[in-house]
Structure 1
Amino acid sequence: MRRRTCAFVLGLSLGIGGALLGARLGGASPLQGSAQAENSCVTCHQRITTPLELSQRYYDWHLSVHKERGVTCDVCHGGDPRARQAQEAHREMRASSDPHSRVHGKHQPETCGACHQEVRTAYLASAHFAKLSAAGLGPFCSTCHLQMANATVRSAIDVSALCGRCHNAEGGIMPPNPQLIKSAQETLLSLSRANGVIIWADRLIEAAEGKNLTIAEERRELEAARKLLQEAKWEWHAFRLEPVRAKADRAFEQGAKVKDRLLQKVYPGSRP
């Protein structure tokens, strides 16, 4: 039985990796075919090979969730995606370093928040946004998410390095606060743990469906845990760590209970 459980866990790990890769690369893109051909930003920038940084930015977008959702360059950066000449296409566009640019740090809450409303609401209530508004010193969306959100701060090590620039650095803009850094690390770990157990339960639901098992109750309870975790992820952007940690821990506990019940249904006698 232990062998079967271990084999399942190995399959789960491979399945998660495959699912994530499939989410990035698999299936039809909303920009394939005529829609992509009609967008001059896409058709022009995909042919650019130099400078290297500009060329790579296209591939950052090409492999991003933004492309999957049909969010093209002009949605955030401006410009005219119907123009055929570069000068016309780039008209009224500004470099991200320009304070008037739509993707300048001070304007990112508005630009990104046009789609990410829940995150924007949480961020606008944060001390970070207050600092950004008052002195232009607070972190903004791309501080953590970088371009196209392809690279996102997810690990405790990342949090220590990033938050420590202001909160734990000698001569930083905020007094050193090692406890705050530790709390942020633990909160992020709690979010990641809850996310992991919910993914595990999702895979068990797929296995249960393959065996035609009755799992209606488990579905309902897992969706409740998923909703709780999503709320915690949104609220993370307000940087009030204690309530986020509490909500993430509750999501984990609920998800773990569902996972354990599903495990017994799908693989009777296996250990959680």
Structure 2
Amino acid sequence: MLFSFWSGGVTWMERLCVASAKAIGEEIVVFTYEDPETLSDKLGCRVLDAASVFSTSDREELLRLGAPHFSDLFRLEGIAQGCGTWTDLDVIYVKPLPESEYVFGWQNEDRIGNSVLRLPPDSELLKRYLAFCRKRPMHRFVMPWMPWPTKCSRLIKGIGAAAIGVRLPAPKYGPAALTYFAKLCEADRLALPSKVLYPLPIRGPAIKHVLEPGFVESLIAPETVCVHLWRSTFDGVHGFALPKTGWLADRVDALLPALREPAVSL
């Protein structure tokens, strides 16, 4: 089973993610701190109370560091509690996920992505990764996965910031941290090639061409399971108007034809 978290407004992208998961035979459940029934109607899937996974007090503590910190930890807590395979809601599925115990993949040449993540709840990788994150070590200037130039730079900036009474932005524990702990546990060898989960690169100009006819199709290989759309970057380039051209428009027409009707409101 796939699981995710959502808060705030719903766009065609989240609805398409859910519809694409259903189309490949996956059950998907989304957690929220908002009204589950309202969100369920918008997304088209089962929605549960996120407090059953992560308390509201813990959530508020993490949100002070930023939404990504909460999201990164929520998925780990959910996996540890047996919720299933995590998916971001900007992932469009084209075929079923592998049945392996571990499902994660390289998002580029040096980082393992956490947008689609399956780990055994009792695995050394999850235990070590989650134990570190539960310590809330975000007050540190540096993290063990940072390269030495970054560590030195943050130390210098951190000391300077402390001298004037401000704090550096807290380091995130997403893909860079996952990559670090995967290597530490010798599980990085299990990471799937980028073409499987991340055929659309976040770096470079590719995201600009996503709505062009034939472009996404040219990135999808026989082994591709899904296309991660990099929601924030996508929004900055294209916004969230309903796609009218290209592969995404075709997916909307095939899986969510009602969205083309003028009366539909997200």
TM over 0.5: no
**Which is helix-richer, 1 or 2?**
1
The answer to which structure has the higher strand fraction is: 2
Q: Radius of gyration: which is bigger?
A: 1
Q: Where on the TM-score scale, by shorter chain, does this alignment land: which range? A: under 0.3
Relative contact order (alpha carbons < 8 A, sep ≥ 6): 1 or 2 greater? 2
